[in-house]
Amino acid sequence: MSTVAPPVVRLEPERGVSPFAPPSAGIDPDPDRGWLRRLWPLVASRRLALIVAVVTGLSSLFITIGVPLVVRATIDRALDQRTAPLAPYVVTLLVMAGALFALRATYRYLLFTTAYGVETDLRDLVYSHLTRLSFSFYDRTPSGELISRANSDIRSVQVLLAFGPLAVLSTFTFLFALVVMASIDIGLTIVAVATMPLVYFVGVRMRERIFPLMWITQARMADVATVVDENINGTRVVKAFAAEGSQINKLAEAAQRLRWAAVATVDARARFSPIIEALPRLGVAGILLYGGWLVIEGDLTIGTIVAFNSYVIMISVPFRLLGFLLMQTQRAAASCARIYEILDTAPDIVDRPDATDLVDPEGALELRDVTFRYPASVGGDDARPTVLRGFSLSVAPGETMAIVGRTGSGKSTIIRLLPRFYDVDEGQVCIDGHDVRDLTLTSLRHHIGVVFDDPFLFSTSIRDNIAFARPSASDAEVESAARAAQAHGFIMELSHGYDTVIGERGYTLSGGQRQRIAIARTLLANPRVLVLDDATSAIDAQVEEEIHRALETLLVDRTTILIAHRLSTISLADRVALVEDGAVIAVGTHDELLTREPLYREVLASVESRDGAD
């Protein structure tokens, strides 16, 4: 069937309205502030829940402190001295128990809701920032490490926010209980708290030991995640080279390093936590000894010693939690530092303050004396080889330009500069005379569609993959784009047609099928400038010819850049640019270059010989 080129879309790209509320706040941007102060805006945005949680928590605290006093009066007056009836005390204790249940349920619910809300907001902030970061960031940062920071590190923060306030509340319980104990008997109180200074010093030592270990543990968890992520995504390469054994050894090595850090952390906890928990128990033993002697001598009532023991249990709770709190605080601090490293990283490619939208472009492209080097992942500028040097090329509106050159000549780099995936070091990249750096990224990339030589497909239906750039596209529009890319035939042969869910990265399809889906996806977006980066390299000659016949119609009045190797692809072009060592050697028609440029003939001959060998 004939394919009619649809009108080129001039509008801004679709922006779906999210049903979810954005984060109510962000982190404090000042990197010199402590990790908790930087996190505080996210917590403070839920101040109402926090205020209610604090009020209910303190209310439960006062009731908790009052329970031993009621028990003391019950034992002394109703059971020992029998000067008061038992029933009122029982009713009072039942009411206090009911109030404690309601209050504790309320503040625990609010605390956990707040903690999970902050976790959700932090994930949103990290993911949103990751979508804004430039290609150079991903060039130097392993994806497994990012996944680790966006998951386990954020979860560490959530655990502290959920349980940390409970530990703080137990500290207030300790203070109030201490006051009540002192009002009952100052001597017993001194015996009870005699070991507390030692607990403090042991806790400080534990903190100094655990903090660096927690940082190392989180980093090595990220290393393990990176190895797993790379082996899952690259499983076909691993199996192709029968490298399963070496990769298992690599994972075992990373896991062994993680094990060392985890064992060192556990060892530190095993050394300090028992001491922190045992020291208060020495105070309990002293209370039983001294308090029991006072009861025998008649200086203390049985109810008082029972109440006192209840308070001793209360003041020992914070010290049982101290080890957990210290460890989790250090883990959260290390995790926040790793999260802030992402959030503090500024994207290299951003809109200028005075950037304007690209509206209704004609599609004239020009690279003016461009010099470009990829950002270095390690080292300084010396580690950045020059990819393009003095590169100049003009493409007229509606013209189809093929770019031909040997491997490593800089062809693919050119198409990464057009939509501003990277910025040039020197020179200019222009569209309709506008420097791309003066245009908004959204409008620029809306009008420039790129089909890469190694297309990425999502683990969803074929329909959703094609409609990725235009989610609101009708089924008819999706099918029309698929027909233009010669994909409709094989799609209908699949088990569920356009509703077939493809595997991760589209690996359940052949290379040629993936390329056709990617071409259909770009054609549906219908950009004013179309860039094909050797996009038919994995397609057999017959299908390629069918695609080319469709493209001949679709490329009318559309500026097109073809990174080409095959003569069949070059034949679509109005002109050809020959590139060598990052510079344009010659520009002309295919026949002109074939006549006057020996290098052009050499490049084509090498491609033909390679295709023939295939």
C-alpha angle with apex 202: 198 to 203, nearest 5 degrees? 115
Supply 248's token pair.
């298992």
Domain residue ranges in the chain: 35-343, 365-613
Give the HSE-up count for residue 560: Cα atoms under 13 Å, Cβ half-sphere: 28
The maximal CA–CA distance of the chain, rounded, in angstroms, is 120
Q: Which residues of 520-535 are buried (b: 16+ CB within 10 A; e: fewer)?
A: bbbbbbbbbbbbbbbb
pLDDT score, position 553 = 64
pTM above 0.75, yes or no: no
pLDDT score, position 372 = 93
| 3-class secondary-structure state, position 496 | coil
- Gyration radius from the chain CA atoms: 35
Which residues make Cβ contacts (< 8 Å) with residue 13, sequence separation at least 6? 442, 445, 446, 469
CB 427 within 8 A of CB 368: yes
% helix, strand, coil for the chain, step of 5:
65, 10, 25
Q: What is the dihedral of CA 286, 288, 294, 295, to 10 degrees?
A: 180
Supply 128's token pair.
């949103």
DSSP single-letter state for residue 593: H
CB 486 within 8 A of CB 543: yes
CB 61 within 8 A of CB 318: no
Strands 434-435 and 583-588: unpaired
Which residues make Cβ contacts (< 8 Å) with residue 243, sequence separation at least 6? 237
C-alpha angle with apex 261: 255 to 266, nearest 5 degrees? 115
Does the domain at residues 35-343 carry the CATH identifier 1.10.10.10? no
pLDDT score, position 427 = 93
Q: What is the identity of the amino acid at 343?
A: L
Which residues make Cβ contacts (< 8 Å) with residue 406, sequence separation at least 6? 580, 603, 606
- Beta-bridge partner residues of 428: 368
Q: What is the identity of the amino acid at 473?
A: A
* Separation between Cα atoms, residue 126 and residue 437, nearest integer Å: 26
User: Average pLDDT per run of 10 along the chain, which is 614 residues long?
Assistant: 42 51 82 88 89 90 89 84 84 93 92 89 88 84 78 86 82 83 82 76 75 76 75 63 73 84 82 76 76 78 80 73 74 87 89 90 92 70 76 92 87 89 92 93 89 81 88 89 86 89 76 83 87 68 64 74 80 88 91 89 71 48
pLDDT score, position 588 = 92
Cα→Cα distances 25→18, 351, 542, Å = 17, 23, 56
How would CATH label the architecture of 365-613? 3-Layer(aba) Sandwich (3.40)
